[in-house]
Amino acid sequence: MRWLRIPESIVAIFNKKDTVVKRRTFLSLSALAVALVSCGIATGDHPTDTLLFPGAQPVDTNVAALAAELRGGIEQYIKDLPKPSRTNLYRIPDESTYPSVKEFYSNGLVPLGWQPFSAVSVEGDTLSYTAWRKGISVVVIGMTENVAGDGAYLLVMELP
């Protein structure tokens, strides 16, 4: 595999005779990194690629009656920001609450350096929104709880 270049520092670890422990540590850490990514720990520039509320299922925005209101409500708070680069709507378990969804995303984003972005924060009876910012990037979540028996929905936007 000529195209695969392994950094010299890693090659040096494996070339030493007393590196059995170092090899095991390296392999263990590599396996742990793969496991964390596959278990939904947010990584990279698009944390919502792997950070998704449990039980969330993608749906078409035309299916949910409140989806248009949810999106319109969020857009009024982000009108001075760059256009969203990603927008996804999910059906989430009916018993989901806004505080639990907000806590889930906060617990996943804040350790990665994302900070709460108060310019987008509304907690209402039907529609609620909040956001986190890291540099020029913003992740916005909006949610409708299952108040009218129409189901609970989660809208996730990433900007830019």
* pLDDT tens digits along 99-120: 999 999 999 999 999 999 888 8
**Residue 26 covered by a domain:** yes
Same domain, 34 and 88: no
Same domain, 138 and 96: yes
- Whether the pLDDT of residue 66 is over 90: the answer is no
Task: Identify which has the larger pLDDT, 32 or 24.
Answer: 24
pLDDT bin (cut points 50, 70, 90) of residue 15 is low
Helix 8-15 to helix 20-38 angle, to the nearest 10 degrees?
130
* Token pair recorded at residue 45: 């520039």
Same domain, 70 and 109: yes
Same domain, 79 and 98: yes
**Residue 133 covered by a domain:** yes
Q: Domain range holding 98?
A: 47-159
Q: Which residues of 140-150 are buried (b: 16+ CB within 10 A; e: fewer)?
A: bbbbbbeeeee
Same domain, 130 and 72: yes
Dihedral class, residue 149 (left if φ above 0, else alpha if ψ from -120 to 50, else beta): left
Rounded to 5 degrees, φ, ψ at 10 are -75, -40
Same domain, 30 and 95: no
- pLDDT for position 37: 38
Same domain, 66 and 119: yes
pLDDT bin (cut points 50, 70, 90) of residue 150 is confident
Same domain, 86 and 147: yes
Q: What CATH number is given to the structural domain containing 112?
A: 3.30.310
Same domain, 25 and 96: no
Query: pLDDT tens-digit profile of 128-141?
Result: 989 999 988 889 89
Rounded to 5 degrees, φ, ψ at 63 are -80, -40
